Amino acid sequence: MSAEPAGRNVILGVTGSIAAYKAASILRGLTARGHPVQVVMTPNAQRLVSATTFRSLSGRPVVTEMFPDERQTGLQHIELAEWVAAGPGGPGGVLAVAPATANFIGKAANGIADEILSCTWMACDCPKLLAPAMNDRMWAAAPVRRNCDYLRGLPQVTFVEPVEGRLASGRMGMGHLAPVELIVQAIHALAGG
Domains in the chain, ordered, with CATH?
Answer: 10-190 (3.40.50.1950)
Predicted pLDDT of residue 74: 64
Model pTM score:
0.92
Q: What is the DSSP letter of 4?
A: P
Distance CA 167, CA 180 (A): 16
Predicted pLDDT of residue 131: 98
Predicted pLDDT of residue 85: 85
Amino acid identity at 52: T
Where do the H-state alpha helices sit in 22-113? 23-32, 43-46, 51-58, 76-85, 102-110
Predicted pLDDT of residue 88: 63
Beta-ladder partners of 37: 10
pLDDT in tens, the chain (193 residues): 334 447 899 999 999 999 999 999 999 999 999 999 999 999 999 999 999 999 999 999 999 988 776 666 568 888 898 889 876 655 679 999 999 999 999 999 999 999 999 999 999 999 999 999 999 999 999 999 999 999 999 999 999 999 999 888 888 999 999 999 999 999 999 998 7
For residue 7, the surrounding DSSP H or E stretch is none
